Chains A and B, each alone.
Chain A
Amino acid sequence: MGPARARHGRRPLTGFLEIRDLEKRWGHGVTVGPITLDIARGEILALLGPSGSGKTTMLRLLAGFEAADGGRIAVAGEDVTTVPPARRRFGMVFQHYALFPHLDVGENVGFGLQGRGKRNEGRAQKISDALALVDLAGYEQRKVHELSGGQQQRVALARALAPEPRVLLLDEPLSNLDPALRERTRHELRDVIKRVGITTIFVTHEQEEAFDLGDCVAVLNNGHLEQTGLADDLYEHPANLFVATFVGRANVFRGDSARVLGGNGKGVVVVRPERLQFADAGLPGIVRERRYTGAGAFFLVEGDDHERFEVLAEPDAARVGQRVHVEATRVIAL
């Protein structure tokens, strides 16, 4: 479970899945890439980015649905850049699952398997194994539209895994589920992937999902790879201001305020809300709002230079309108 390494990281290891200078040029001068990534065998990589960052394009390039305009993709040393999707052996779970509505669950799962017919025993065994893997044993005869959203998602996963692909691709795998179900499904999904041991890339725009499901995270923005690394690294050592503000909540300070909080006087200082606390001295300001979250409260503070920032503290740490001083326990200087 080694972290994926970006070109800008330490010395790249040769990965199971290698992406070299992969690039897609759309019309109107929009370009995704060039992107270089190595993913180790059995690793789960999250492609995290805002909408329009090119993460879905990346996934579709990997699946073969889009043709690359430059660069190459290799699996276990085999160049698959121009291999059509049907022969690429990459499994894919689509955002809306793309289950075939005219086929039942068993036929959906068996679609990618060799042979035909329900009497083909090896095939039937593989179908039931795949369904058992996602905890849907015995669902072969069910109609797709009779299933709940979570069950459909699991059928889509079983269908993608049944033909034993070399790489699994997931497009926003949890976005179609209601929030209550997401966290549980996330863990089940990770559990299944790890049991199968398949190398996986998934796309998400939610940082929590990327952290929880991925072994490592690649942050994309405007078609470029901003940073790749473990969740802790991204959060604590963001490579730039984009990663600092996109991954987690962040207060950005400049100039005097930055210096007061412990910056080196040059550039920008980023402080996470939980790394700020009320104190007797420090950056002065007035509490404008308080948002209670149960475990704590976010206090929106307006500084004397009218800069606004958030402090995460005990719910009774301050009152709206109160004049406070804030100090940082840890700053990220960029």
Chain B
Amino acid sequence: MIGRWRRTDLAAVALTLLLVWLVVYPIMVVGAEAADGSAIRAFVTRPGEWAALWASVWISLLSVVLAAAIGIPLAFLFEWFDFPGRKTLGALIALPVVLPPLVGVIAFLFLYGESGFIARAIQAALHLQNAPWRLQGAVAILLVHAYSMYVYFYLFTRAGLAKLDVSMLEAAQALGADRRATLWRVIVPLLRPSLVGAAMLTFMTALGSFSAPYIFGGGFRVMTTQIVATKLNGDLPLAMVETVALALVAVLGLVMLRRTEGDDILVALGKGIAPRPRPIRRASVRRLTTVLGWGFAVLLLLPHLTLLLVSLVPYGAWTTEILPPVINFTNYRRLLSEAERLRPMWNSLWMAAVSTAAAVAIALAAGWLVVRRRARWRRAIEGLLALPWALPGTVFAIALAITFSTHAPLQLRFVLVGTAIILPLAYLVRALPLTGRGIIASYRQLDPSLEEAAASLGAGPWRTLARVTLPQLRPGLAAGASLAFVAALGDIVASIVLYTYETRPVSIEILSSLRLSETGVAAAFGVVLMLVSALVLGVGARR
């Protein structure tokens, strides 16, 4: 049976090497090629570079603060208090997280932008000559970030609160702690891992955020938009130095946040009974909470409703009116009837499907090797799968663009840029943490005796996989796969660096429609993306 062990270890080594080639190697290539004297000098001496790097840092940190300020109170409200509509609202509030960032951003643009719905209404109401505001620069970016990223704090805090043991709170009270003391001395310390987790996720998302600064930034540059601009200007050496700088900031940020995390003590103590939501007794407070809750939900849904409305307005039909004068399905008809517009839709769908399937296959192999076979290098495999999460998407996009634009088979570098392979490959790299996490976690929970039972009943390895393992892994697999698919479907970060006209995905088509002022078509694409994403995530979340 030594032979079998060798085969397992060989498979683990092969998988590790594949992951290194996909995930680490391109970064190393960029790191090596960025060591270029003049480019580094240019980076160090130009004030614009430092400004963009600094902007990335403070925008990300402020995004964390704003998201926490919105998300944490909401989580307490929905977890601890009962009021009419609590369940429906609680689910609605988590909605922004499931939508592609680009869709959220253009929806925001159509609602709050200078030619958006609200600006228009105010302009008309007050008979102003110009739009009352310009939604641009850092403030606009922060608004969009807060709007889309508070969900991390909301979800993580709720999950943390749900794990709290009610008897711990009762113990604190029995020991003489009042409510304030209980909150600060018991609840907050116990929530710390959840809060740090949310902060890390928010920080990373904000640091890697591209659509918001790209569309709302104007002259204000953060590192992601700066890199793409440099790349488009053709200054590759500088783009590589910028990429390395952004990667370093990301790693530094993660390390510092990680150090504040501490152990998840709630897990160590085992599960208790979570406090039950308290009905709000006083009628006035109750009414106020209900109104605020629903008001907030409407506020959250408004951008998406606006997107829907804009998608129904034909080109050029809506100029200065407050409400659109014409509403029909022209944009959708154009989307479906014009081959040039169907193409991006098809491109996005197949590229997302292929990359997701590959990411699922890799994660399954990893789960089997790491959890079931306890193969050598299992730590390395897990780390490699998680790594793409720790670096902004732009970093990987540039790294892939550099690594796979040279033909050097001996260095394992091939010309893939410009082919149909490069975008699915980029999506695959970004999908690995999502499928890897979901599938490995499910594998850990899977009782090995189920597979042994199948074997003792005469099922071979493939039958066991198909009839026992996969059905049991389904929740984690479906969740990871649907998140990966939706991320690839709406991706713009990697696409904008790597697309060709032939392989352009929906996000690029949305941008070019916006550039041509075809807002209706852009919105229609956005609605389609939104619906497909919601559908896929809905299916993925079903138990």
Contacts and interface: CB of A to CB of B under 8 A. Distances in A.
A96 interface: yes
Interface in B166-203: none
Contacts of B468: 100
Contact of B457 (A67, A84, A95, A163): A163
A92 B456 CA distance: 6
A98 B449 contact: yes
Interface string B435-468: 0000000000001011011111111110000011
Contacts of A88: 456
A102 B1 CA distance: 32
B472 A101 contact: yes
Contacts of A159: 453, 457
Contacts of A94: 449, 452-453
Given A101-B472, A102-B471, A111-B454, A96 B459 contact: no
Nearest to B474: A102
A87 B460 CA distance: 8
Nearest to A88: B456
Q: What does DSSP make chain A's interface, helix, strand, loop or mixed?
A: loop
A84 B449 contact: no
B450 A100 contact: yes
A90 B456 contact: yes
A96 B449 contact: yes
Interface string B464-500: 0001100110100000000000000000000000000
A91 B458 CA distance: 9
Contacts of A98: 447, 449-450, 452-453
Interface string B211-222: 000000000000
A170 to B, nearest CB: 12
A50 interface: no
B456 A84 contact: no
Interface in A89-121: 89-92, 94-96, 98-102, 111-112
A89 B452 contact: no
Nearest to A159: B457
A23 to B, nearest CB: 13
B458 A87 contact: yes
B361 to A, nearest CB: 21
Contact of B460 (A64, A86, A111): A86
Given A96-B447, A96-B449, A160 B454 contact: no
A231 interface: no
B458 A89 contact: yes
A85 interface: yes
A63 B456 CA distance: 7
Interface string A55-69: 000000001110100
Contact of A111 (B4, B449, B459, B461): B459
User: Of A67, A98, A101, which is in contact with the most chain B CB atoms at under 10 Å from its CB?
Assistant: A98
A163 B458 contact: yes
A98 B469 CA distance: 12
Q: What does DSSP make chain B's interface, helix, strand, loop or mixed?
A: helix
A155 to B, nearest CB: 12
B457 A111 contact: yes
User: Of B1, B447, B458, B459, which is in contact with the most chain A CB atoms at under 10 Å from its CB?
Assistant: B458
B452 A85 contact: yes
B445 to A, nearest CB: 12
A84 B3 CA distance: 14
A110 to B, nearest CB: 10
Contacts of A84: 455
Interface in B369-420: none
A100 B456 CA distance: 13
User: Of B4, B457, B472, which is in contact with the most chain A CB atoms at under 10 Å from its CB?
Assistant: B457
Interface residues of A, number: 28
Nearest to B455: A85
A91 B447 contact: no
Contacts of B458: 86-87, 89, 112, 163
Contacts of A67: 1, 4
A86 B455 contact: yes
A275 to B, nearest CB: 42
Contacts of A91: 456-457
A63 B450 CA distance: 14
User: Of B449, B467, B471, which is in contact with the most chain A CB atoms at under 10 Å from its CB?
Assistant: B449
Contacts of B471: 100, 102
B320 to A, nearest CB: 59
B472 A63 contact: no
A111 B463 CA distance: 11
Contacts of A99: 453
A85 B456 contact: yes
Contacts of B461: 86
A111 B472 CA distance: 15
Interface in A263-321: none
B452 A63 contact: yes
A279 B325 CA distance: 112
A252 B32 CA distance: 75
A86 to B, nearest CB: 5
B525 to A, nearest CB: 38
A159 to B, nearest CB: 7
Nearest to B464: A86
B457 A65 contact: no
Contacts of B467: 111
A22 B537 CA distance: 52
A123 to B, nearest CB: 13
A47 to B, nearest CB: 17
Nearest to A101: B472
A85 B460 CA distance: 9
Contacts of B452: 63, 65, 85, 92, 94, 98
A112 B458 CA distance: 6
A260 to B, nearest CB: 52
Nearest to B457: A112
Contacts of B447: 96, 98
A203 to B, nearest CB: 14
Contacts of A100: 450, 453-454, 468, 471-472
A28 to B, nearest CB: 16
A15 to B, nearest CB: 21
Interface string B1-32: 10010000000000000000000000000000
B455 A65 contact: yes
Contacts of A87: 458
Interface of B: 1, 4, 447, 449-450, 452-461, 467-468, 471-472, 474
Given A63-B452, A86-B456, A87-B458, 17 more contacts: A63-B456, A64-B455, A65-B455, A67-B4, A84-B455, A85-B455, A85-B456, A86-B459, A90-B456, A91-B457, A96-B449, A98-B447, A98-B452, A102-B471, A102-B472, A112-B458, A160-B456
14 contacts: A65-B455, A85-B455, A86-B460, A88-B456, A89-B458, A92-B452, A92-B456, A98-B452, A100-B468, A102-B471, A102-B474, A111-B457, A112-B456, A159-B453
Top 8 nearest A-B pairs by Cβ distance?
A112-B457, A67-B1, A98-B449, A85-B455, A98-B453, A92-B456, A102-B471, A94-B449
